[in-house]
């Protein structure tokens, strides 16, 4: 975003921002909806009571997290409050809920990536998406939705609190309450800041995300 503003001017910045909006809204809202939906199905009435079992983006978008993702490509949705003691099987269902958000992002991104591959393979499809004004806009928005969903998935899989990856690892290996768990949980925000400053996401997130997009959308040709 900042590069677009500095190098291409305010018009390019606005166009890039508009193209990213659908991807951000879809990725964040569907990620949190998936957590709420699975928690509800596992026996916890809390998300439904709080109005979170809905695909309405207004129920899931955190204003600060939304703006942060828009400006610096790092953001978050409004966390879904769950009460694990309500689950039918606490450990198993906690793992299901933790996986739900990233699984939803993967399904959305992969389904749209496959559809893009099919569209580009059709006669004239590539021409419309790349070499016409309307097609260029559709292509950019479509690709942004795919990239943002994959990016949010990989980011949330990092084993750092409060991300889903930390909860997944904690529940699978029964780490909750241990000394290591308490230490990592206590300094989770600091660890996350260090990870971002060290630009670790560019290796753990951007590279696999780009590989998936090249492989599924373009058959590894680009």
On the question of pLDDT at 70 being above 50, the answer is yes
For residues 90 and 19, is the Cβ–Cβ distance under 8 A?
Answer: no
Q: Which of 21-25, 80-84, 127-131, 147-151 has the lowest mean pLDDT?
A: 127-131
pLDDT tens-digit map of 44-62: 999 999 999 999 999 998 8
- Comparing 21 with 33, which gets the higher pLDDT? 33
Cα-based distances in Å from 220 to 70, 152, 195, 215: 28, 22, 29, 4
For residues 166 and 160, is the Cβ–Cβ distance under 8 A?
Answer: yes
CB burial string 147-169: b at 16+ within 10 A, e below:
bbbbbbbbbbbbebbebbbbbbb
Q: How far is CA 197 from the centre of its chain?
A: 20
| pLDDT confidence bin for 16, thresholds 50/70/90 | confident
On the question of pLDDT at 9 being above 80, the answer is no
Max avg pLDDT among 3-12, 35-44, 120-129, 157-166:
35-44
Residue 156 to residue 59: CA distance in whole angstroms? 20
Q: How many domains does the chain have?
A: 1
| pLDDT confidence bin for 32, thresholds 50/70/90 | very high
3-state secondary structure the chain: CHHHHHHHHHHHHHHHHHHHHHHHHHHHHHHHHHHHHHHHHCCCCHHHHCCCCCCCHHHCECHHHHHHHHHHCCCCECCCCCCHHHCCCHHHHHHHHHHHHHHHHHHHHHHHHHHHHHHHHCCCHHHHHHHCHHHHHHHHHHHHHHHHHHHHHHHHCCCCCCCHHHHHHHHHCCCCCCHHHHHHHHCHHHHHHHHHHCCCHHHHHHHHHHHHHHHHHHCCCC
Average pLDDT over residues 123-136: 67
Q: What is the pLDDT of residue 94?
A: 96
Q: What is the pLDDT of residue 220?
A: 61
Q: Which of 27-31, 176-180, 201-205 has the lowest mean pLDDT?
A: 201-205
| Token output for 115 | 């559809």
Q: What is the pLDDT of residue 17?
A: 80
On the question of pLDDT at 14 being above 80, the answer is no
pTM of the model: 0.87
Q: What is the pLDDT of residue 198?
A: 82
pLDDT tens-digit map of 158-195: 999 989 999 999 999 999 989 989 999 998 889 888 88
Cα-based distances in Å from 156 to 7, 9, 114: 31, 32, 23
On the question of pLDDT at 149 being above 80, the answer is yes
Q: Which domain holds residue 203?
A: 2-79+87-218
């Amino acid at each position: 975003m900042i590069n677009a503003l500095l190098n291409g001017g305010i018009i390019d910045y606005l166009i890039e921002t508009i193209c990213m909006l659908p991807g951000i809204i879809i990725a964040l809202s569907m990620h949190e909806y998936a957590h709420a939906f699975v928690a509800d199905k596992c026996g916890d009435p809390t998300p439904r009571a709080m109005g979170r079992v809905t695909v309405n983006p207004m129920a899931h978008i955190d204003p600060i997290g939304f703006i942060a993702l828009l400006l610096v490509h790092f953001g978050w949705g409004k966390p879904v409050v769950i009460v694990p003691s309500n689950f039918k099987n606490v450990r198993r269902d906690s793992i299901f809920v933790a996986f739900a958000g990233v699984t939803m992002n993967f399904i959305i991104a992969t389904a749209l990536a496959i559809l893009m591959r099919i569209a580009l393979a059709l006669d004239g499809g590539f021409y419309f998406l790349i070499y016409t004004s309307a097609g260029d806009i559709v292509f950019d928005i479509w690709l942004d939705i795919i990239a943002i969903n994959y990016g949010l998935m990989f980011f949330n899989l990092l084993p750092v609190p409060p991300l889903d990856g930390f909860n997944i690892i904690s529940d699978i290996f029964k780490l909750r309450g241990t000394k290591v768990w308490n230490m990592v949980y206590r300094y989770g925000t600091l660890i996350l800041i260090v990870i971002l400053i060290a630009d670790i996401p560019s290796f753990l997130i951007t590279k696999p995300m780009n590989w998936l997009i090249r492989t599924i959308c373009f058959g590894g040709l680009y």
